[in-house]
Amino acid sequence: MEGAVRVFAGEFSRSSLFVPSPDPGTPGWVVTPGGAWCRQVYISGALTEITESGDMIRCRMADPTGAFDVVCNGRNAQLVLSLQKIPVPSFVAVQGTAQMYQRNGNCILSIRPETVQAIDRPYRDRLFLITAEYTLRRLELVHQAVTGTCTDEQILRAARHYSPDIACIREMTGMVEGVVQGVRPQEPLAPPPGQEEMRQIVMELVQSTAGPRGIAVEELIDTLASKGMKKEDVLAAVESLIMDDECYQPQKGYVKLL
């Protein structure tokens, strides 16, 4: 089964080659200058505009390299409803079919969506990095086609149509590198607190929340678990504070500062 192609808008929007499918009733391929054969595509970016005209919904979806036109007809009522519920702007991921037709001598490109999913920025960034990796692999093959060392027939057909040169490949590579550089670095996870720090955290929590009979150990565990601290670390800190006479147990299951 043919998988969905990952492609950036800046590459897709330059396409002028369409290869029909040999199977009647099956969509053909939009072939990009970067060697992507797009039938099913999986794209991501920011949904910046939605317009309705009759039973058609047209969306503009932008990534750092350009924009896609996403066009949905009213026959897919569920998808139309999903689109109408997504606020603008929002980050989205779209899987759909690449389309091309000619109008007044110009190539008109669009995506017919099959699924649209609202996503957050970290997930969008991960999708950008995956798309960048696939794009750079294709551009390496296009470079091989230019230098006469490529044997991939699909890449060679794209190269014959677009006649890319080294400067063109460098420009597309730079476009992809710009996307990668714009991805926010993931926030590193904070290291778990050390034993002394954990003791201090527990003591401050006991002091600030304890009632007349102290605070339940289970409440301590639940409160600190919501902050990413492990049950065994909390229990070890409680036990250490009791042994050092910083805390005591007024009754079973409770702890209180001395």
pLDDT single digits (tens) 211-239: 777 888 888 887 787 677 788 888 888 88
CATH number, domain 195-257: 1.10.10.10
- pTM score of the predicted model: 0.71
Better-predicted residue by pLDDT, 104 or 1 = 104
39-93: pLDDT as tens digits: 999 999 999 999 988 888 999 999 999 999 999 987 778 888 888 889 999 999 9
Q: What are the extents of the domains in the chain?
A: 5-182, 195-257
Q: Out of 10-19, 176-185, 192-201, which region has the weakest mean confidence (pLDDT)?
A: 192-201
Helix, strand or coil for residue 197? Answer: helix
d(CA 238, CA 220): 9
Cα–Cα distance for residue pair 15/81, rounded to 1 Å: 30
Instruction: Using the predicted structure, report yes or no on whether residue 1 has a pLDDT greater than 50.
Output: no
Structure tokens at 202: 């527990």
Axis crossing angle, helix 166-182 with helix 121-147, rounded to the nearest 10: 160
The answer to whether residue 119 scores a pLDDT higher than 80 is: yes
Specify the fold of 5-182.
Answer: OB fold (Dihydrolipoamide Acetyltransferase, E2P) (2.40.50)
18, 30 contact by CB (below 8 A): yes
